[in-house]
């Protein structure tokens, strides 16, 4: 490499060779003339590799001072020496941070003759600074954007700093109020002393600080955390981190109140269900038994029909009220299974056809070709909605027609739309949303021409919402109404023909049946129904007698009331299953509650099925087919 002769004052050869920092002799045009060994070590080049290399070529491309001319531009007037931090590139491509000191040497005519550049490798220091800066930025960001109040204070109990959330929590301004304030103003001197004395060794101290006093002397409930501040391994203070939990406390209180209300509502619902359904079981059941008798004349049969219809109307009202209460209390759930869609619509038409015929109303339904025959949903709930809408259509249609159309809605995931249209009195367009509210009536209560609770549409909406669908009405107020509801389309396979045949088959084998019922009327109703079917019936009135009866005699089936004295039906069923095991008779729970969770409790106790009062003849036949003829 080319070297130049230097006098002792300008360049000390010994320093050049043995210095720990890099030294380079640079020509006025930026060409590197010579470098010392330390310079070679810093950049990873050999001395020969610096030949014909410009000093600016060593600069990192992202550095602000990219060229040698940029450095020379800093040397103006009498300023012939510059010191700054720069980034460079080593031979292996790694970045290098260097502290550069570069000085210009001129001849007697003030003409530049060379530059001496000294570089100290400060990469490690810069990395440490970068990590420190990142740490500071993270802390600053955490402190600034933290959703909790962060307050730092020294060992003298004086607040050092705080974030904006501390301002919101305390009502004090950070720079004008909090900084320099005694922390005791916020949490009390006793708590401050406790922190300073014990917090380093006892992490339970923070649990004792549960309130903050604001600028307005209001006491705010907080959840507190403490973190010590260490500098050079020495504790200089603490961070006090406070979360305002007053709102959470209010929400928890509201939640507890709502849960308590729901529990009370559910308990009232269970009581009302039992107290109302139990006597209704006697009314409806005994009427069915008398109507099934041949010893009544036409006049008496007419009276009985009136009793039966009145009982069914009353039962429908009771069911509406209880059904709405169950849904609102969250005690109702869907029982999904394969449903014959066309059959469900036909059965719904069958229920309303008598009333429609009396008014000479035309009934019709259409199911589009792309709608499957069998779907997967809650059949009873689907029919309940259909009957509510069709019943209203018949009620408010004087003449004309009622139609049902089922079509596939082109959505993802797919849905089914049920459209019920009538030619009735119509609905005021301003009331199309109101009619889905509980107890809403189309006609004023004082001039009502139609019976009903006004709960049918409210229940229908809640059922459809349970089924993940929606329901709405359309009408111009003059020429009829259209009700539309949608449900998710869950296709299902066709049920086995043999299963369907068995469902329709009536029991022929005579069975020995135990009826466990403490209410004498309900006991009589159920006993007479079973005896008229030709079965042998034994009656007991409490859980102990049920267990004793099964020890003495073999039964095919037990109808077990859940609410009996001494020992209830659930405990009696458990005892029977434990004693008789595989030889145990089938047990059917009979209850007036019919609430969500009751069926699960019965099955868990070992019972085989669950029915609610009033128990109708068709339900008993189905159970006998299921358990006696299996």
pLDDT of residue 626 exceeding 70, the answer is yes
| 302-311, 352-361, 395-404, 508-517, range with the lowest pLDDT | 302-311
Per-position DSSP letters for 160-217, written without gaps between them: EEE-HHHHHHHS--IIIIITT-BTHHHH-HHHHHHHHHHTTT-TTGGGG--EEE-TTS
Over range 304-324, report the average pLDDT. 68
DSSP E strands: which ranges in 497-604?
Answer: 512-516, 536-540, 557-561, 586-591
Over range 494-515, report the average pLDDT. 64
Domain 337-488 has CATH 3.30.565.10: yes
Sort residue 400 into left (φ over 0), alpha (ψ -120 to 50) or beta.
Answer: left
DSSP E strands: which ranges in 564-625?
Answer: 586-591, 609-612
Taking the C-alpha atoms of residue 356 and residue 401, their distance in angstroms, rounded to an integer, is 9
pLDDT of residue 474 exceeding 90, the answer is yes
Per-position DSSP letters for 130-164, written without gaps between them: HHHHHHHHHHHHHHHH-SSEEEEEETTSBEEEE-H
13-128 CATH, one of 3.30.450.20, 3.20.10.10, 3.30.1130.10, 1.10.357.10: 3.30.450.20
Fold classification of 146-244 (topology level): Beta-Lactamase (3.30.450)
| 314-318, 429-433, 505-509, 518-522, range with the lowest pLDDT | 505-509
The most distant pair of C-alpha atoms in the chain lies apart, rounded to whole Å, by 146
Averaged pLDDT score across all residues of the chain: 82
Over range 601-628, report the average pLDDT. 82
Helix (H) or strand (E) holding 375: strand 374-377
**CATH code linked to domain 506-627:** 3.40.50.2300
Higher pLDDT, 132 or 181: 181
pLDDT of residue 532 exceeding 50, the answer is yes
Q: Residues 565, 541: contact at Cβ < 8 Å?
A: yes
Q: Residues 191, 209: contact at Cβ < 8 Å?
A: yes
pLDDT of residue 307 exceeding 70, the answer is yes
Taking the C-alpha atoms of residue 222 and residue 211, their distance in angstroms, rounded to an integer, is 5
pLDDT of residue 4 exceeding 50, the answer is no
Closest CA to 569 of 539, 542, 538, 596: 542
Domain ranges of the chain: 13-128, 146-244, 258-320, 337-488, 506-627
- Output the pLDDT for position 317: 62
pLDDT tens, 29-75?
999 998 999 999 999 988 888 888 899 889 998 888 878 888 888 88
Q: 284: which 2 tokens?
A: 């409806």
pLDDT tens, 422-435?
999 898 888 888 88
Q: pLDDT over 90 for what percent of the chain?
A: 28
Over range 230-252, report the average pLDDT. 82
Q: 317: which 2 tokens?
A: 């009202």
Pairing of strands 159-162, 22-26: unpaired
13-128 and 146-244: identical CATH topology = yes
Taking the C-alpha atoms of residue 515 and residue 588, their distance in angstroms, rounded to an integer, is 10
Q: Residues 43, 58: contact at Cβ < 8 Å?
A: yes
pLDDT tens, 278-297?
677 677 777 777 777 767 78
Taking the C-alpha atoms of residue 443 and residue 454, their distance in angstroms, rounded to an integer, is 10
CA 66 to chain centre: 57
Helices (H), 238-340: 246-291, 298-328
Closest CA to 94 of 60, 53, 142, 50: 60
Q: Which residues of 215-237 are buried (b: 16+ CB within 10 A; e: fewer)?
A: eeeeebebebbbeeeeeeeeeeb
- Using CB atoms within 10 A of its CB, is residue 210 exposed (0-12), middle (13-18) or buried (19+)? middle
- What would the 3-class secondary structure string for 388-421 be? HHHHHHHHCCCCCEEEEEEEEECCCCCEEEEEEE
Most confident of 13-27, 86-100, 578-592: 86-100
**What pTM value is reported for the model?**
0.44
- Output the pLDDT for position 211: 92
pLDDT band at 441 (very low <50, low <70, confident <90, very high): low
Higher pLDDT, 416 or 251: 416
Other CB atoms within 10 Å distance of the CB of residue 565: 10
């Amino acid at each position: 490499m080319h070297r130049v002769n230097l006098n002792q004052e300008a360049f000390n050869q010994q320093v050049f060779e043995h210095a720990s920092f890099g030294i380079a002799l640079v020509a006025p045009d930026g060409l590197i003339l010579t470098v010392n060994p330390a310079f070679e070590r810093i950049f990873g080049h050999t001395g020969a590799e610096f030949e014909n290399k410009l000093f600016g070529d060593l600069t990192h491309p992202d550095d602000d001072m990219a060229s040698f001319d940029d450095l020379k531009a800093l040397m103006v007037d009498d300023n012939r020496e510059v010191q700054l931090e720069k980034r460079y590139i080593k031979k292996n491509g790694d970045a290098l941070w260097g502290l550069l000191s570069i000085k210009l040497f001129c001849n007697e005519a003030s003409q530049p003759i060379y530059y001496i550049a000294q570089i100290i490798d400060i990469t490690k220091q810069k990395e440490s600074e970068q990590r420190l800066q990142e740490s500071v930025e993270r802390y600053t960001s955490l402190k600034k954007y933290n959703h909790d109040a962060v307050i730092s204070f020294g060992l003298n109990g004086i607040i050092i700093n705080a974030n904006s959330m501390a301002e919101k929590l305390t009502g004090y301004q950070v720079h004008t109020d909090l900084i320099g304030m005694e922390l005791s103003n916020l949490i009390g001197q006793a708590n401050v002393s406790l922190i300073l004395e014990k917090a380093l060794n006892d992490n339970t101290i923070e649990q004792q600080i549960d309130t903050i006093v604001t600028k307005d002397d209001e006491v705010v409930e907080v959840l507190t955390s403490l973190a010590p501040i260490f500098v050079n391994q020495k504790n200089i203070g603490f961070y006090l981190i406070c979360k305002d939990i007053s709102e959470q406390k209010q929400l928890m209180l509201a939640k507890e109140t709502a849960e308590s209300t729901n529990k009370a509502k559910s308990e009232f619902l269970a009581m009302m269900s039992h107290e109302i359904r139990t006597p209704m079981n006697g009314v409806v059941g005994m009427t069915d038994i008398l109507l099934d008798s041949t010893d009544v004349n036409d006049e008496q049969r007419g009276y009985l029909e009136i009793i039966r219809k009145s009982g069914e109307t009353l039962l429908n009202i009771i069911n509406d009220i209880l059904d709405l209460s169950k849904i609102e209390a969250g005690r109702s759930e869907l029982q999904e299974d394969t449903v014959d869609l066309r059959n469900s619509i036909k059965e719904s038409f069958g229920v309303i056809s008598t009333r429609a015929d009396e008014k000479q109303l035309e009934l019709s339904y259409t199911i589009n070709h792309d709608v499957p025959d069998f779907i997967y949903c809650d059949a009873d709930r689907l029919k309940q909605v259909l009957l509510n809408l069709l019943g209203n259509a018949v009620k408010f249609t004087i003449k004309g027609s009622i139609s049902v159309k089922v079509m596939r809605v082109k959505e993802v995931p797919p849905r089914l739309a049920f459209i019920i249209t009538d030619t009735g009195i119509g609905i005021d367009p301003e009331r199309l949303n109101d009619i889905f509210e509980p107890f809403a009536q189309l006609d004023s209560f004082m001039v009502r021409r139609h019976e009903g609770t006004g709960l049918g549409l409210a229940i229908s909406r809640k059922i459809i919402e349970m089924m993940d669908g929606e329901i709405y009405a359309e009408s111009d107020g003059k020429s009829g109404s259209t009700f539309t509801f949608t449900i998710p389309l869950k296709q299902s396979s066709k049920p086995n023909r043999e299963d369907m045949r068995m469902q329709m088959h009536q029991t022929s084998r005579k069975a020995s049946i135990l009826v466990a019922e403490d209410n004498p009327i309900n006991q009589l109703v159920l006993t007479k129904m079973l005896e008229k079917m030709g079965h042998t019936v034994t009656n007991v009135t409490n859980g102990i007698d049920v267990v004793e009866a099964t020890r003495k005699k073999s039964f095919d089936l037990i109808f077990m009331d859940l609410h009996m004295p001494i020992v209830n039906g659930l405990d009696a069923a458990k005892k029977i299953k434990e004693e008789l095991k595989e030889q145990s008779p089938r047990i059917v729970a009979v209850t007036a509650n019919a609430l969500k969770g009751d069926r699960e409790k019965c099955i868990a106790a070992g019972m085989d099925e669950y029915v609610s009062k009033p128990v109708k003849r068709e339900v008993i036949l189905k159970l006998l087919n299921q358990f006696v003829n299996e």
